[in-house]
Structure 1
Amino acid sequence: MTNPNFVSWMTATQQQVEAALEATLPSSERTPQQLHDAMRYSTLQGGKRVRPLLAFAAGELVGATAANVGRIACAVEMIHAYSLVHDDMPCMDDDVLRRGKPTCHVAYDDATALLVGDALQTLAFELLSTPLEGIAAAQQLSMVRTLAIASGHAGMAGGQAIDLASVGHELDQTELEFMHCMKTGALIRAAVLLGAMCGQPLTAAETDSLDHFAKRIGLAFQVVDDVLDVEADTATLGKTAGKDEANAKPTYVSLMGLAQAKQFARDLYDDALAALTPFGDKAARLKQLADYIVARSF
């Protein structure tokens, strides 16, 4: 990831998303102050904003306005932030570090963390259901449905349930892919599709190609995460390193070994890029983001 143009775009987009989140989240001075403070603590100044970046890159593909994609990006990032707050709680992954600082339930308490997740999730849907300029109500309803499916029992929440039930068990590659396509991939896929739904309509074939890209790069993201959990240290990750192995969680590294997991990530990357062929140069940002996602570790 050395393209100066891409680095500039990514930095500017991350700053834009941060400013939008800062303006959208309730002030810590509003009652209930602790809830609002914890919402901001858990969402602001953390993470690489990969999902918002994907939404903006897909928006560029279809000529979407920055204002509309910005709203989408905030909604998706709030869903992601809520999932991290809940995942870190003692009843689930029981982690004490996230994005280089104490997790929400450690910085505040369990009850506050539970409410933070609830509040971020509902705020995301409030944002997404507020009229978007130039987008028909039926299209916006479809966007709400897309995010709901990606977040719920058939997506992120369902994948987390499978993950928790799989601790101490061996999964084969098909089972592992099914779990991660839900837990991690569903929201990444939604970010891409929602960004594309903000602009000029795509044909059915183009939508299928973009969806295939999103599925493959979402899975590659998880494979790289599994590699990083083994190779990177806690300071680099911003969360506890080696926790998957310590908790006997099935991962691509435990299934395949480190070298083969890295190769699998590259294969997924190649497949994702191939899916963007019909879009030509219009997909440049999506291609650059695919490079960035896979090159995080090797």
Structure 2
Amino acid sequence: MRDLRGRTALVTGGDSGIGLGIAHAVCDAGMSVVISGIVEETLEKAGSELAAVGTAHAVRLDVRDRAGFAALADRMDREFGGVDVLVNNAGVGFLAPTTEATFEQWDWVLDINLTGVFNGIRTFLPRMLAAGRPGHIVSTASIGGLLGAPGSTYAAAKAGVVGLMEALAAELVDTPVGVSILTPGIVRTNIHNGPPPPGSVVVHTPGDAAETDLHAAAMPPREVGDRVVRAILDEQLYVITHAEHRELLERRFDAILRCVPDEQPDPRRAGVERLILHNPVYDRALGRTAR
């Protein structure tokens, strides 16, 4: 997409934090924006805040509710002519280690943070493709989805979002719909004050850092939103928010490559593996023409 003016965006979890930062950024870019959330008070406040900037509407939606997604899609078709930019941002924080997480808590995190993303894509993507217009889908993962950050349940859901979106990008290579994966680090949000998980939970702070220190060092949500808008316009696959992540990512990928068997590949087997696993979106992300 080269111009966002006059287009329509849907931002799930757009009533606070990163979602609200993205909603402000797309609004300033000239888009009409619909934000969703589940807390009436924050929805109303965010909707009023955005309406002072541009065209904005706030709707209640639980991303686990597939019938609710379908009803919202029908409404957006009627009132806006569809969705041009879908931002699957709604999510919950849950950093309990594996030995403390219950089965019910696992289901809760995965249903919201991963299945909620799929629900949005599966509902809106066919409509976006049928419209034939340039469009874009952004899904919020986390740097924890690339680095295995604290909280195995949370990291598993966010890694799932990364895999889902990379595969989706390959499926959409020859379509007018682009894909971006947002992998933010520590951002100034109120995710720790979001909906509580089922059952009892012991509060865990990453790295034993004080909450005040985390908040002081955190990136403002609007900065994340501006990076997302640039990624949409530049058709950028990965939205890495923090320059501070470069060294950490290099260590992770170096560790992976070091574990690849140090032997001559079998030509026949290599051909089959490349045929099945070659993903042209990596070539595009590197600025190369895919073969």
Both proteins in one fold, TM over 0.5: no
- The answer to which structure has the higher strand fraction is 2
Tell me the TM-score normalised to structure 2 length.
Answer: 0.31
- The answer to which structure has the higher helix fraction is 1
